[in-house]
Amino acid sequence: MPAFQFSVDHTDTQTSARAGRWTTPHGEVQTPAFMPVGTLATVKGLTPAQLTEAGTSMVLANTYHLALRPGAELVAELGGLHRFMNWDGPILTDSGGFQVFSLARLMQLDDEQAVFRSHIDGSLFELSPEKAIRIQELLGADCIMCLDECPPHDAGLDRVSKAVERTTHWAARCREAQHRSDQALFGIVQGGIDRQQRERSAEGLVPLDFPGYAVGGLSVGETPAEMYETLDLTVPLLPDDRPRYLMGVGTPVDLIEAVSRGIDLFDCVLPTRNGRNAMAFTSDGPIRLRNLQFRDDPGPIDAECGCPVCRQFSRAYLRHLFVAGEMLGPILLSWHNIGFYQHLMSELRTAIHQNRVREFRLERLARYQSSV
Protein backbone atom coordinates (compact mmCIF):
# COMPACT_ATOMS: atom_id res chain seq x y z
CA MET A 1 0.00 0.00 0.00
CA PRO A 2 2.41 2.71 -1.25
CA ALA A 3 0.05 5.61 -0.43
CA PHE A 4 0.61 4.98 3.28
CA GLN A 5 3.77 5.06 5.34
CA PHE A 6 4.02 4.92 9.12
CA SER A 7 7.20 5.47 11.06
CA VAL A 8 8.01 5.82 14.74
CA ASP A 9 10.44 8.71 15.17
CA HIS A 10 11.03 8.30 18.89
CA THR A 11 9.88 6.16 21.81
CA ASP A 12 9.93 7.60 25.31
CA THR A 13 12.62 5.93 27.40
CA GLN A 14 10.47 5.57 30.52
CA THR A 15 7.10 4.55 29.04
CA SER A 16 5.72 2.95 25.88
CA ALA A 17 4.71 6.35 24.45
CA ARG A 18 5.88 6.92 20.90
CA ALA A 19 5.91 9.83 18.47
CA GLY A 20 5.56 9.09 14.79
CA ARG A 21 4.40 10.15 11.36
CA TRP A 22 1.62 8.60 9.32
CA THR A 23 1.56 9.58 5.67
CA THR A 24 -1.82 9.30 3.93
CA PRO A 25 -3.10 10.30 0.46
CA HIS A 26 -4.41 13.56 1.96
CA GLY A 27 -1.47 14.54 4.09
CA GLU A 28 0.71 13.64 7.04
CA VAL A 29 -0.55 13.03 10.56
CA GLN A 30 1.88 13.49 13.43
CA THR A 31 1.16 10.93 16.11
CA PRO A 32 -0.10 10.64 18.75
CA ALA A 33 -3.07 12.43 17.22
CA PHE A 34 -6.67 13.20 18.16
CA MET A 35 -9.45 13.08 15.55
CA PRO A 36 -12.56 15.21 16.19
CA VAL A 37 -15.76 13.32 15.47
CA GLY A 38 -17.68 14.44 12.38
CA THR A 39 -20.29 11.68 12.30
CA LEU A 40 -22.41 13.18 9.53
CA ALA A 41 -19.55 14.79 7.60
CA THR A 42 -19.43 17.73 9.99
CA VAL A 43 -17.79 18.34 13.35
CA LYS A 44 -20.81 19.91 15.01
CA GLY A 45 -20.76 23.70 14.87
CA LEU A 46 -17.29 24.11 13.36
CA THR A 47 -16.10 24.91 9.86
CA PRO A 48 -13.10 23.12 8.29
CA ALA A 49 -11.12 26.34 8.63
CA GLN A 50 -11.85 26.49 12.36
CA LEU A 51 -10.78 22.86 12.77
CA THR A 52 -7.51 23.60 11.01
CA GLU A 53 -6.89 26.70 13.13
CA ALA A 54 -7.49 24.57 16.23
CA GLY A 55 -4.67 22.26 15.12
CA THR A 56 -6.68 19.38 13.66
CA SER A 57 -5.02 17.26 10.98
CA MET A 58 -7.53 14.38 10.67
CA VAL A 59 -11.25 13.90 11.32
CA LEU A 60 -13.64 10.97 11.67
CA ALA A 61 -16.97 10.30 9.95
CA ASN A 62 -19.40 7.37 10.22
CA THR A 63 -20.40 4.73 7.68
CA TYR A 64 -23.79 3.84 9.14
CA HIS A 65 -25.04 7.39 9.50
CA LEU A 66 -23.78 8.61 6.12
CA ALA A 67 -25.21 5.54 4.38
CA LEU A 68 -28.66 6.44 5.74
CA ARG A 69 -28.34 10.11 4.75
CA PRO A 70 -27.42 11.47 2.33
CA GLY A 71 -26.31 8.06 1.01
CA ALA A 72 -22.86 6.85 0.01
CA GLU A 73 -23.70 6.85 -3.70
CA LEU A 74 -24.65 10.54 -3.59
CA VAL A 75 -21.43 11.42 -1.75
CA ALA A 76 -19.46 9.53 -4.41
CA GLU A 77 -21.32 11.33 -7.21
CA LEU A 78 -20.40 14.66 -5.63
CA GLY A 79 -16.71 13.84 -5.58
CA GLY A 80 -16.26 11.85 -2.39
CA LEU A 81 -16.31 12.74 1.26
CA HIS A 82 -13.35 15.13 1.16
CA ARG A 83 -14.94 17.33 -1.48
CA PHE A 84 -18.44 16.91 -0.04
CA MET A 85 -17.46 18.33 3.37
CA ASN A 86 -14.69 20.58 2.02
CA TRP A 87 -12.02 18.95 4.19
CA ASP A 88 -8.72 18.37 2.39
CA GLY A 89 -6.97 16.53 5.23
CA PRO A 90 -7.09 12.84 6.10
CA ILE A 91 -10.43 11.26 7.06
CA LEU A 92 -11.18 8.02 8.91
CA THR A 93 -14.59 6.36 8.61
CA ASP A 94 -15.89 4.03 11.30
CA SER A 95 -17.53 0.95 9.81
CA GLY A 96 -20.78 1.07 11.76
CA GLY A 97 -19.58 -1.52 14.26
CA PHE A 98 -20.11 0.83 17.19
CA GLN A 99 -23.78 1.15 16.19
CA VAL A 100 -24.06 -2.60 16.79
CA PHE A 101 -23.52 -1.60 20.42
CA SER A 102 -25.14 1.84 20.62
CA LEU A 103 -28.28 0.97 18.58
CA ALA A 104 -28.70 -2.57 19.88
CA ARG A 105 -32.42 -2.01 20.51
CA LEU A 106 -32.87 -1.34 16.78
CA MET A 107 -30.64 -4.14 15.52
CA GLN A 108 -30.61 -7.90 14.89
CA LEU A 109 -27.30 -9.68 14.54
CA ASP A 110 -26.11 -12.95 13.08
CA ASP A 111 -22.89 -14.27 11.57
CA GLU A 112 -23.81 -12.92 8.14
CA GLN A 113 -24.61 -9.30 8.98
CA ALA A 114 -26.26 -6.73 11.23
CA VAL A 115 -29.78 -5.63 10.29
CA PHE A 116 -30.82 -2.23 11.64
CA ARG A 117 -34.20 -0.58 11.90
CA SER A 118 -33.33 2.95 10.83
CA HIS A 119 -33.51 5.45 13.69
CA ILE A 120 -34.67 8.02 11.11
CA ASP A 121 -37.65 6.41 9.39
CA GLY A 122 -37.81 2.82 10.62
CA SER A 123 -36.73 1.26 7.31
CA LEU A 124 -34.49 -1.80 7.30
CA PHE A 125 -30.76 -1.30 6.72
CA GLU A 126 -28.54 -4.34 6.23
CA LEU A 127 -24.85 -3.99 7.02
CA SER A 128 -22.57 -6.90 6.15
CA PRO A 129 -18.76 -6.78 6.11
CA GLU A 130 -18.85 -6.52 2.33
CA LYS A 131 -21.40 -3.71 2.38
CA ALA A 132 -19.44 -1.82 5.04
CA ILE A 133 -16.38 -1.90 2.79
CA ARG A 134 -18.37 -0.90 -0.31
CA ILE A 135 -19.90 2.10 1.50
CA GLN A 136 -16.51 3.23 2.78
CA GLU A 137 -14.97 2.87 -0.66
CA LEU A 138 -17.73 5.06 -2.08
CA LEU A 139 -17.16 7.64 0.65
CA GLY A 140 -13.44 7.64 -0.12
CA ALA A 141 -11.90 8.13 3.33
CA ASP A 142 -8.15 7.62 3.75
CA CYS A 143 -8.58 5.14 6.59
CA ILE A 144 -11.46 2.66 6.78
CA MET A 145 -12.46 0.15 9.44
CA CYS A 146 -13.49 -3.49 9.40
CA LEU A 147 -17.02 -4.22 10.54
CA ASP A 148 -16.86 -5.62 14.06
CA GLU A 149 -19.10 -6.57 16.96
CA CYS A 150 -18.69 -4.40 20.06
CA PRO A 151 -20.37 -6.16 23.01
CA PRO A 152 -21.50 -4.19 26.08
CA HIS A 153 -19.29 -4.10 29.16
CA ASP A 154 -21.62 -6.38 31.14
CA ALA A 155 -21.77 -9.08 28.45
CA GLY A 156 -20.94 -12.55 29.71
CA LEU A 157 -17.84 -14.44 28.65
CA ASP A 158 -19.77 -16.55 26.13
CA ARG A 159 -21.01 -13.47 24.31
CA VAL A 160 -17.59 -11.78 24.39
CA SER A 161 -16.04 -14.93 22.98
CA LYS A 162 -18.65 -15.06 20.21
CA ALA A 163 -18.02 -11.39 19.41
CA VAL A 164 -14.29 -12.11 19.04
CA GLU A 165 -15.00 -14.99 16.66
CA ARG A 166 -17.45 -12.93 14.62
CA THR A 167 -15.13 -9.90 14.51
CA THR A 168 -12.25 -12.08 13.29
CA HIS A 169 -14.42 -13.75 10.64
CA TRP A 170 -15.80 -10.41 9.50
CA ALA A 171 -12.29 -8.95 9.32
CA ALA A 172 -11.23 -11.65 6.87
CA ARG A 173 -14.33 -10.92 4.77
CA CYS A 174 -13.55 -7.19 4.82
CA ARG A 175 -9.98 -7.87 3.72
CA GLU A 176 -11.28 -9.95 0.84
CA ALA A 177 -13.90 -7.36 -0.13
CA GLN A 178 -11.52 -4.39 -0.32
CA HIS A 179 -10.73 -3.24 -3.86
CA ARG A 180 -9.25 0.25 -3.46
CA SER A 181 -5.53 0.41 -2.74
CA ASP A 182 -5.62 4.04 -1.59
CA GLN A 183 -7.45 3.31 1.67
CA ALA A 184 -5.82 1.84 4.79
CA LEU A 185 -8.08 -0.85 6.26
CA PHE A 186 -7.74 -1.33 10.04
CA GLY A 187 -8.58 -4.51 11.95
CA ILE A 188 -10.29 -4.06 15.32
CA VAL A 189 -9.26 -6.04 18.40
CA GLN A 190 -12.20 -6.95 20.63
CA GLY A 191 -12.41 -9.10 23.77
CA GLY A 192 -13.84 -6.91 26.53
CA ILE A 193 -11.57 -6.75 29.57
CA ASP A 194 -10.70 -10.45 29.42
CA ARG A 195 -7.02 -11.19 28.80
CA GLN A 196 -7.56 -14.48 26.96
CA GLN A 197 -10.21 -13.01 24.66
CA ARG A 198 -8.00 -10.05 23.79
CA GLU A 199 -5.18 -12.47 22.99
CA ARG A 200 -7.51 -14.60 20.83
CA SER A 201 -8.66 -11.52 18.95
CA ALA A 202 -5.13 -10.27 18.24
CA GLU A 203 -3.97 -13.75 17.24
CA GLY A 204 -6.76 -13.89 14.66
CA LEU A 205 -6.21 -10.39 13.25
CA VAL A 206 -2.44 -9.91 13.10
CA PRO A 207 -1.91 -12.66 10.47
CA LEU A 208 -4.31 -10.76 8.18
CA ASP A 209 -1.58 -8.10 7.93
CA PHE A 210 -3.70 -4.95 8.20
CA PRO A 211 -2.02 -1.56 7.65
CA GLY A 212 -3.17 -0.57 11.15
CA TYR A 213 -4.95 -1.95 14.18
CA ALA A 214 -7.63 -0.52 16.45
CA VAL A 215 -8.49 -1.38 20.04
CA GLY A 216 -12.28 -1.50 20.23
CA GLY A 217 -14.76 -2.40 22.93
CA LEU A 218 -13.49 0.05 25.54
CA SER A 219 -15.18 3.12 27.04
CA VAL A 220 -18.43 1.13 27.02
CA GLY A 221 -18.99 0.97 30.78
CA GLU A 222 -15.80 -0.42 32.29
CA THR A 223 -13.88 1.57 34.89
CA PRO A 224 -10.86 3.67 33.84
CA ALA A 225 -8.60 1.26 35.73
CA GLU A 226 -10.04 -1.67 33.77
CA MET A 227 -9.51 0.21 30.51
CA TYR A 228 -5.87 0.95 31.31
CA GLU A 229 -5.22 -2.65 32.40
CA THR A 230 -6.75 -3.86 29.14
CA LEU A 231 -4.47 -1.55 27.18
CA ASP A 232 -1.47 -2.85 29.15
CA LEU A 233 -2.17 -6.36 27.90
CA THR A 234 -3.49 -5.52 24.41
CA VAL A 235 -1.02 -3.00 22.97
CA PRO A 236 2.00 -5.36 23.19
CA LEU A 237 0.05 -7.85 21.06
CA LEU A 238 -0.05 -5.42 18.11
CA PRO A 239 2.71 -4.85 15.50
CA ASP A 240 5.19 -2.12 16.37
CA ASP A 241 5.36 -0.85 12.80
CA ARG A 242 1.63 -0.09 12.36
CA PRO A 243 -0.50 2.74 13.82
CA ARG A 244 -2.58 1.82 16.87
CA TYR A 245 -5.98 3.43 17.27
CA LEU A 246 -8.02 3.49 20.49
CA MET A 247 -11.63 3.95 19.42
CA GLY A 248 -14.00 6.37 21.16
CA VAL A 249 -11.67 7.50 23.95
CA GLY A 250 -11.77 9.81 25.80
CA THR A 251 -11.05 12.35 28.55
CA PRO A 252 -7.74 14.22 28.72
CA VAL A 253 -6.65 11.80 31.46
CA ASP A 254 -7.57 8.84 29.25
CA LEU A 255 -5.50 10.24 26.38
CA ILE A 256 -2.45 10.76 28.59
CA GLU A 257 -2.75 7.26 30.05
CA ALA A 258 -3.26 5.64 26.65
CA VAL A 259 -0.41 7.52 24.97
CA SER A 260 1.91 6.37 27.74
CA ARG A 261 0.88 2.81 26.85
CA GLY A 262 1.71 3.18 23.16
CA ILE A 263 -1.54 4.32 21.47
CA ASP A 264 -1.16 6.57 18.41
CA LEU A 265 -4.68 7.64 17.34
CA PHE A 266 -7.82 8.70 19.21
CA ASP A 267 -11.33 9.96 18.57
CA CYS A 268 -14.05 11.07 20.95
CA VAL A 269 -17.20 13.23 20.99
CA LEU A 270 -16.38 14.78 24.38
CA PRO A 271 -14.78 18.06 23.19
CA THR A 272 -17.82 19.05 21.12
CA ARG A 273 -20.53 17.37 23.20
CA ASN A 274 -19.25 19.00 26.37
CA GLY A 275 -18.76 22.26 24.50
CA ARG A 276 -22.43 22.28 23.51
CA ASN A 277 -23.29 21.83 27.19
CA ALA A 278 -21.14 24.65 28.60
CA MET A 279 -18.29 22.48 29.90
CA ALA A 280 -14.80 23.69 29.02
CA PHE A 281 -11.58 21.70 29.30
CA THR A 282 -8.69 23.61 30.88
CA SER A 283 -5.15 22.95 32.03
CA ASP A 284 -6.47 22.71 35.59
CA GLY A 285 -9.43 20.47 34.84
CA PRO A 286 -12.92 21.05 33.42
CA ILE A 287 -15.11 24.01 34.36
CA ARG A 288 -18.85 24.58 33.90
CA LEU A 289 -19.39 28.01 32.46
CA ARG A 290 -23.04 28.22 33.50
CA ASN A 291 -21.90 28.51 37.12
CA LEU A 292 -22.62 31.87 38.72
CA GLN A 293 -18.96 32.33 39.70
CA PHE A 294 -18.15 33.15 36.06
CA ARG A 295 -20.81 35.86 35.68
CA ASP A 296 -18.29 38.71 35.91
CA ASP A 297 -15.04 36.81 35.20
CA PRO A 298 -13.01 38.84 32.64
CA GLY A 299 -10.39 36.14 32.12
CA PRO A 300 -10.08 33.63 29.28
CA ILE A 301 -11.31 30.06 29.61
CA ASP A 302 -7.71 28.92 30.12
CA ALA A 303 -4.86 31.37 30.66
CA GLU A 304 -2.41 28.81 29.21
CA CYS A 305 -4.42 28.32 26.01
CA GLY A 306 -3.64 30.25 22.85
CA CYS A 307 -6.74 29.26 20.88
CA PRO A 308 -8.76 32.00 19.09
CA VAL A 309 -11.53 31.76 21.70
CA CYS A 310 -9.22 32.29 24.66
CA ARG A 311 -7.49 35.15 22.83
CA GLN A 312 -10.72 37.02 22.14
CA PHE A 313 -13.49 36.17 24.63
CA SER A 314 -13.95 36.16 28.40
CA ARG A 315 -15.54 33.58 30.64
CA ALA A 316 -18.20 36.16 31.49
CA TYR A 317 -19.13 36.62 27.83
CA LEU A 318 -19.27 32.90 27.15
CA ARG A 319 -21.44 32.34 30.20
CA HIS A 320 -23.75 35.09 28.97
CA LEU A 321 -24.11 33.33 25.61
CA PHE A 322 -25.18 30.08 27.25
CA VAL A 323 -27.55 31.73 29.72
CA ALA A 324 -29.12 33.72 26.87
CA GLY A 325 -29.43 30.62 24.68
CA GLU A 326 -27.25 32.08 21.92
CA MET A 327 -25.90 29.53 19.42
CA LEU A 328 -22.48 31.22 19.40
CA GLY A 329 -21.80 29.83 22.89
CA PRO A 330 -21.70 26.14 21.91
CA ILE A 331 -19.73 27.01 18.77
CA LEU A 332 -17.02 28.93 20.60
CA LEU A 333 -16.72 26.44 23.43
CA SER A 334 -16.53 23.49 21.03
CA TRP A 335 -13.79 25.34 19.15
CA HIS A 336 -11.84 25.89 22.37
CA ASN A 337 -12.26 22.28 23.50
CA ILE A 338 -10.99 20.92 20.18
CA GLY A 339 -8.05 23.32 20.40
CA PHE A 340 -7.35 22.17 23.96
CA TYR A 341 -7.26 18.53 22.89
CA GLN A 342 -4.98 19.28 19.95
CA HIS A 343 -2.63 21.30 22.16
CA LEU A 344 -2.55 18.42 24.66
CA MET A 345 -1.49 16.03 21.90
CA SER A 346 1.22 18.48 20.80
CA GLU A 347 2.50 18.67 24.38
CA LEU A 348 2.54 14.88 24.56
CA ARG A 349 4.53 14.64 21.34
CA THR A 350 7.06 17.08 22.75
CA ALA A 351 7.25 15.17 26.03
CA ILE A 352 7.91 11.94 24.12
CA HIS A 353 10.83 13.47 22.21
CA GLN A 354 12.21 14.82 25.50
CA ASN A 355 11.80 11.45 27.31
CA ARG A 356 9.63 13.04 29.99
CA VAL A 357 6.20 11.46 29.51
CA ARG A 358 6.17 10.07 33.05
CA GLU A 359 6.82 13.50 34.53
CA PHE A 360 4.27 15.11 32.22
CA ARG A 361 1.66 12.52 33.22
CA LEU A 362 2.21 12.98 36.95
CA GLU A 363 2.16 16.78 36.70
CA ARG A 364 -1.04 16.87 34.66
CA LEU A 365 -2.86 14.31 36.79
CA ALA A 366 -1.95 16.27 39.92
CA ARG A 367 -3.35 19.47 38.43
CA TYR A 368 -6.58 17.80 37.25
CA GLN A 369 -7.14 16.10 40.60
CA SER A 370 -6.51 19.27 42.60
CA SER A 371 -9.39 20.94 40.78
CA VAL A 372 -11.94 18.25 41.66
pLDDT tens digits, one per residue of 57-77:
999 999 999 999 999 999 999
Which pLDDT belongs to residue 121?
85
Map out the domains of the chain as residue ranges. 5-98+127-268, 273-372
Which pLDDT belongs to residue 16?
98
Taking 70 as the threshold, does the pLDDT of residue 372 lie above it? no
**pLDDT tens digits, 156-185:** 999 999 999 999 999 999 999 999 999 999
Which pLDDT belongs to residue 309?
98
**pLDDT tens digits, 113-138:** 988 888 888 888 899 999 999 999 99
Annotated catalytic residues are 94, 267
Residue range 144-152: average pLDDT?
94
For the chain, percent of residues with pLDDT exceeding 90: 88
CB 310 within 8 A of CB 322: no
Helices 357-370 and 252-259, interaxial angle, to 10°?
160
Which pLDDT belongs to residue 2?
56
Which pLDDT belongs to residue 297?
98
β 59-62/91-94 pair status: parallel
Taking 70 as the threshold, does the pLDDT of residue 257 lie above it? yes
Banded pLDDT at 316 (limits 50, 70, 90) = very high
Residue range 140-165: average pLDDT?
95
Taking 80 as the threshold, does the pLDDT of residue 364 lie above it? yes
**Range 5-98+127-268: architecture per CATH:** Alpha-Beta Barrel (3.20)
Residue range 308-324: average pLDDT?
98
The pTM score is 0.96
**pLDDT tens digits, 209-233:** 999 999 999 999 999 999 999 999 9
Which pLDDT belongs to residue 102?
74
* 156 CB burial (10 A radius; 0-12, 13-18, 19+): exposed
CB 128 within 8 A of CB 77: no
β 184-189/212-215 pair status: parallel
Which pLDDT belongs to residue 369?
80
Taking 70 as the threshold, does the pLDDT of residue 308 lie above it? yes
Average pLDDT, the chain: 95
For the chain, percent of residues with pLDDT exceeding 70: 98
**pLDDT tens digits, 87-110:** 999 999 998 877 766 777 777 889
